[in-house]
Amino acid sequence: MAKWPLIPRQGSQQVGGFAIPREQLPLFYMNDYSCLGLRVDSCEAARQVLAESRYGVVQDDDGCHVALEDAAEVQTVVALLNDRGVACDIADLVDQVYQG
């Protein structure tokens, strides 16, 4: 089971309380690093739709996440949210992380 973060479409990497835990970032080489998540118009609406559809939605210190069994389930969740009026797509969440 994997946790997929829910983040709003607008804003920076930490909008909506999501932050990539420091221990997950590589020490030196960031070129091929990514963290996938679900980018949605409204995190609250997405949480509501997912909870009503019996998906495990967790709010913790790292933000809001949906627990999914496998990769095939990701497309099902994206379609569900879009069908219920919550614009959703899959996004790389580390595109704005700076390594100095």
Instruction: List the domains of the chain with CATH numbers.
Output: 2-19+35-92 (3.30.70)
Q: Are 80 and 17 in contact (CB under 8 A)?
A: no
Give me the tens of pLDDT residue by residue for the chain, a chain 100 residues long: 788 888 888 754 444 445 565 556 666 666 667 778 899 998 899 999 999 999 988 887 777 889 998 888 999 999 999 999 999 999 887 765 555 5
The pLDDT score that the predictor gives to residue 16 is: 44
**Is this structure's pTM higher than 0.85?**
no
90 contact partners, CB below 8 Å, separation of at least 6? 36, 37, 38, 39, 74, 78
User: How high is the pLDDT of residue 17?
Assistant: 47
> What pLDDT is stored for residue 39 in this prediction?
92
pLDDT for 15 equals 41
Contact 80, 15 (CB under 8 A): no
Contact 12, 19 (CB under 8 A): no
The Cα 14–Cα 96 span in angstroms is 10
Pairwise CA distance, residues 76 & 64, whole Å: 18
User: What is residue 14's predicted lDDT score, i.e. its pLDDT?
Assistant: 41
Can you tell me the distance from the alpha carbon of 9 to that of 91, in angstroms, rounded to the nearest whole number?
Answer: 9
